[in-house]
């Protein structure tokens, strides 16, 4: 009697992207470089207006968006995307790498930032992370060293108010998700979902990893952001 052995083949999900850049050679180069991966370029646009024409007939997972373009630049396109297509994942690809600019772009809805000086590996890494609902910035470690980041400013931009409220409870390792839910008057399942979202956005694997990350970065979330700072009595 012969035994039939079935081997399951795991297929990496395809990520459909649109490239928005007025540099034709750059677009062609990216299409060629990304061809061997699971990232498929389904559309190209030279400016923001062309992008919104494409979005009428296409549903990409990720948009690569340049900032400097004629007709409608990347900044204006990002504002419109945040208002009308807030579920889309946008990565800014720019030759500028200013910290204040990056924070402003994240605040306005961007999910990732990659400098044009970086190689294709950084870009593919960004696309895959952003497609899985993570945040990507190619100098994230340097960004975290900034005092404004350590006191929670960065996280106030990428986390929802409920997620921010949950963080002090996550750092209290003795509390279970059910106990946290009771304290916040929400279900255990809701706590679990918010926690997973926090881990994704901070690129941490689980609660323990997030706590270690917070301690290593010198972040003080107990009682709220920057709670350790003394306040004068009114």
Is the pLDDT score of 184 beyond 70? yes
CB atoms within 10 A of CB 120: 13
pLDDT digits (tens, 9 = 90+) for 13-41: 889 999 999 888 888 888 888 776 688 89
Question: Does the global pTM surpass 0.75?
Answer: no
d(CA 40, CA 178): 42
74 token code pair: 């990347």
pLDDT digits (tens, 9 = 90+) for 66-112: 998 988 999 999 999 999 998 899 999 988 777 778 878 888 888 88
Is the pLDDT score of 225 beyond 80? no
Residue with tokens 């039939």: 4
Range 144-216 classified under CATH 2.60.40: no
Architecture of domain 15-138 in this structure:
3-Layer(aba) Sandwich (3.40)
* Contact predicate 148/134, CB 8 Å: no
Question: 65-74, 91-100, 187-196, 215-224 — which is least confidently predicted?
Answer: 215-224
3-state secondary structure 153-214: HHHHHHCCHHHHHHHHHHCCCCCCHHHHHHHHCCCHHHHHHHHHHHHHHCCCCCHHHHHHHH
Residue with tokens 């396109």: 77
Sketch the domain layout of the chain as residue ranges: 15-138, 144-216
**Top-confidence residue, 23 or 218:** 23
pLDDT digits (tens, 9 = 90+) for 103-158: 788 888 888 888 887 777 888 888 988 888 777 776 554 544 444 444 455 566 66
147 token code pair: 């005092």
d(CA 74, CA 76): 6
Q: How many degrees, rounded to 5, is the angle at CA 216 between CA 141 and CA 175? A: 125
């Amino acid at each position: 009697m012969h035994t039939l052995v079935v081997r399951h083949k795991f297929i990496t999900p395809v990520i459909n992207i649109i490239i928005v850049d007025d540099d034709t050679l750059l677009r062609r180069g990216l299409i060629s470089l990304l061809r061997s991966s699971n990232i498929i370029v389904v559309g190209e646009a030279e400016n923001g207006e062309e992008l919104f024409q494409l979005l009428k007939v296409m549903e990409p997972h990720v948009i690569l968006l340049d900032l400097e373009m004629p007709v409608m630049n990347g900044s204006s396109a990002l504002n419109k995307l945040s208002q009308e297509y807030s579920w889309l994942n946008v990565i800014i690809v720019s030759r500028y790498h200013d910290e204040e600019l990056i924070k402003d772009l994240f605040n306005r809805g961007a999910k990732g930032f990659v400098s044009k000086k970086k190689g294709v590996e950084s870009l593919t890494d960004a696309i895959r992370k952003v497609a899985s609902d993570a945040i990507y910035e190619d100098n994230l470690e340097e960004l975290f060293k900034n005092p404004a980041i350590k006191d929670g400013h960065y996280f106030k931009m990428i986390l929802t108010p409920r997620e921010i409220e949950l963080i002090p409870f996550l750092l209290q390792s003795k509390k279970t998700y059910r106990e946290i839910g009771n304290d916040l008057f929400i279900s255990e399942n809701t706590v679990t979902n918010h926690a997973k979202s926090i881990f994704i956005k901070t690129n941490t694997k689980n609660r323990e990893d997030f706590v270690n990350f917070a301690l290593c970065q010198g972040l003080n979330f107990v009682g709220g952001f920057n709670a350790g700072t003394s306040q004068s009595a009114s």
